[in-house]
């Protein structure tokens, strides 16, 4: 192969990758850039920069309430999803009850279903039971969609290595609860944390269930949804950029938990 041909190939590879990255980053770049736009419509030409839209967003009570509600729903539902997922994964991995393939399929089922179907089902269920719409119901829905994810992540981390340590702990006199609290959880804590983070980002981002099951107190995606009614608006850009930053922070925490797990496991 001649040097010239190799160089041409390199250029082609770089150009192709660059084209992909432009496609992938175009909307994000436009979103972030025009959140600093000084005009009232976020379209070119760019004017500014200004932070006035961030001030506007953070001064908007509906947005800050939405952020607070989203964090509340996300944290509680993810905690519950990770907890239930852990218990199920532990039961499956350590006691392997008969019919475990059926049980596993049952737990994983909500993963493939449209959130809209789940949300409508919960709406009908709770309205026929006479419950008013509330953030609690959203939390319940988010546990439903995140439980399979948490279960799958945790069950993949409950390997034979921990099983041997749990057996040793049992032999030394630990009760089932002591085994879980003193051995299993400390050992797979990165997986639990990763499951929590992933569940949190899904809850943080979820719209349809939250939209169907809330009325006055709403989560951030529902607030942003209502902001979209005003059309293109730099304030929406600013809100979107903030949401992106929070998701990114949680995603980084998730990534770190995963890589630390890889680093420490023997």
- Per CB under 8 A, contacts with another protein among 181-240 are 182-183, 186-187, 201, 204-205, 207-208, 212, 221, 224-225, 228, 232, 236-237, 239-240
Residue-by-residue DSSP string for 124-161: HHHHHHTPPP-HHHHHHHHHHHHHHHHHHHHHHH--HH
Q: Work out whether 136 is an interface residue with another protein (CB under 8 A).
A: no
Q: Among 47-55, 58-66, 71-79, 122-130, which window interacts with another protein (CB under 8 A)?
A: 122-130
Q: Which of residues 100-119 bind another protein (CB under 8 A)?
A: 103, 106-107, 109-110, 112-118
Give the dihedral sign, CA 143/145/147/153: negative
Cα three-residue angle 226-78-160, rounded to 5 degrees: 150
Question: Which one, 75 or 244, has the nearer CB to another protein?
Answer: 244
Q: Among 48-56, 57-65, 71-79, 93-101, which window interacts with another protein (CB under 8 A)?
A: 93-101
Q: Work out whether 11 is an interface residue with another protein (CB under 8 A).
A: no
Cα three-residue angle 146-151-152, rounded to 5 degrees: 100
Show the binding pattern over residues 13-52: x = contacts another protein (CB under 8 A), - = does not.
x--xx--xx-xxxxxx-xx--x------xxxxx-------
Helical segments of 35-51, H only = none
Question: At its nearest, how many Å lie between another protein and the CB of residue 257?
Answer: 15
Question: At its nearest, how many Å lie between another protein and the CB of residue 79?
Answer: 14
Name the one residue in this structure whose structure tokens are 């499951």. Answer: 195
Interface with another protein (CB under 8 A), residue from 72, 75, 91, 217: 91
The values of phi and psi at residue 44, to 5°, are: -65, 155
Interface with another protein (CB under 8 A), residue from 72, 75, 76, 169: 169
The values of phi and psi at residue 79, to 5°, are: -60, -45
Q: Work out whether 57 is an interface residue with another protein (CB under 8 A).
A: no
Q: Which of residues 148-167 bind another protein (CB under 8 A)?
A: 151, 164-165, 167
Helical segments of 60-207, H only = 61-95, 100-108, 115-129, 135-157, 160-171, 176-179, 185-205
Question: Which one, 72 or 83, has the nearer CB to another protein?
Answer: 83
Measure the CA–CA gap between 137 and 122, rounded to whole angstroms: 8
ω before 45 within 30° of 0 (cis)?
yes
């Amino acid at each position: 192969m001649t040097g010239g041909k190799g160089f041409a190939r390199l250029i082609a590879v770089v150009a192709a990758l660059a084209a992909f990255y432009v496609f992938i980053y175009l909307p994000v770049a436009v979103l972030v850039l025009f959140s600093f736009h000084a005009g009232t419509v976020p379209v070119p030409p760019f004017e500014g920069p200004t932070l006035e839209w961030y001030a506007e967003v953070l001064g908007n009570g509906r947005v800050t309430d939405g952020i607070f509600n989203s964090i509340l729903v996300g944290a509680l539902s993810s905690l519950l999803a990770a907890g239930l997922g852990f218990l199920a994964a532990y039961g499956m991995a350590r006691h392997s009850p008969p019919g475990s393939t059926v049980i596993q399929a049952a737990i994983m089922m909500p993963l493939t279903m449209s959130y809209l179907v789940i949300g409508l089902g919960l709406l009908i269920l709770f309205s026929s039971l006479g419950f008013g719409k509330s953030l609690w119901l959203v939390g319940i829905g988010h546990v439903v969609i995140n439980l399979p994810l948490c279960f799958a992540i945790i069950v993949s981390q409950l390997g034979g290595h921990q099983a041997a340590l749990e057996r040793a702990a049992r032999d030394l006199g630990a009760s089932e609860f002591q085994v879980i609290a003193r051995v299993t959880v400390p050992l797979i804590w990165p997986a639990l944390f990763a499951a929590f983070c992933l569940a949190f980002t899904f809850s943080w981002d979820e719209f349809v269930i939250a939209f169907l099951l809330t009325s006055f107190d709403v989560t951030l995606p529902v607030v942003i949804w209502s902001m979209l009614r005003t059309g293109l608006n730099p304030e929406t850009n600013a809100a979107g950029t903030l949401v992106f930053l929070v998701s990114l922070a949680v995603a980084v925490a998730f990534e770190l938990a995963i890589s630390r797990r890889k680093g420490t496991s023997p």
